[in-house]
Amino acid sequence: MQKKAIILFSGGLDSTTCLAIAKNQGFLLYALSFDYGQKHKAELIAAERIATMMGVQAHKFISLTALGELGASALTDDRIPVHDYPNNDTVPNTYVPARNTIFLSMAMAWAEIINASDIFIGANSLDYSGYPDCRPDYLRSFEEMANLATKAGIEGRRLTIHAPLLLLSKCEIIQTGLALGVDYRLTVSCYRLDEHGRSCGSCDSCIYRKKGFSEAGALDPTQYYLPYS
């Protein structure tokens, strides 16, 4: 029997690559997406479209808008603008406090309910924004906690957190996805899309995306609005 895997799925470049990797490894795919009060919902529309095309078994959308109501992040708080890529070691203002911990906790619960032992997350600790909940130590700690906190864990059905992109550059992530047939035209990465769904080209997410396609020698299919086209 095929094993089930839950994939934290935003509809972005990394999570779509992660979905393709899990599929290539033979898992039955269960995608989990979140409305956490983010300013634009284009990524959720993209997630639904991609999940259908990639043949997921089930795709759940969880409302976590209360997370956004707490504020303090440029992704959720209308009073805080998304800054351009800072090009330094500071954590950008797009950081959402505790986001991955909450997302993984929901995935942990669903995994126990459907008797799945594998969770995939597209966390990356190389070409990334410096978010603390994307680091290897954090993911190892969460996995240990999950196996202490669940009925399945104490009964011997251990949960494994897979982060196949963790030590890859954005270039390597894109090359991996292209080899698996990922259509990156469908993915959304930008933190400040315009009203036509075009990307800004200068937020940290856009900068890493453009860098990845350039280094991979691949055409970037993203539509950027001027002057970043």
Maximum Cα interatomic distance, the chain, rounded to a whole number of Å:
57
Give the 3-state secondary structure of 54-120: CCCCEEEEEECHHHHHCCCCCCCCCCCCCCCCCCCCCCCCCCCCCHHHHHHHHHHHHHHHHCCCEEE
Residue 159 banded pLDDT, cuts 50, 70, 90 = very high
The count of residues in the chain is 229
Which DSSP state fits 3? P
Report whether 20 contacts 45 (CB < 8 A).
Answer: no
Share of the chain above pLDDT 70, in %: 98
Helices (H), the chain: 13-24, 42-53, 65-69, 99-114, 136-149, 151-154, 170-179, 204-216
pTM recorded for the entire structure: 0.94
Q: What are the tens digits of pLDDT across the range 70-126? A: 988 999 998 999 988 877 778 888 999 999 999 999 999 999 999 999 999 999 988
In this predicted structure, the answer to whether residue 135 has a pLDDT above a threshold of 80 is yes
* Mean pLDDT score of the chain: 93
Residue 83 pLDDT: 87
Q: Write the CB contacts of 137 (distance below 8 Å, at least 6 apart in sequence).
A: none
Residue 228 banded pLDDT, cuts 50, 70, 90 = very low
Report whether 64 contacts 104 (CB < 8 A).
Answer: no
Report whether 149 contacts 190 (CB < 8 A).
Answer: no
Q: What are the tens digits of pLDDT across the range 6-47? A: 999 999 999 999 999 999 999 999 999 999 999 888 999 999
Residue 229 pLDDT: 42
Distance CA(97)–CA(101), nearest Å, equals 9
Helix (H) / strand (E) containing 8: strand 4-8
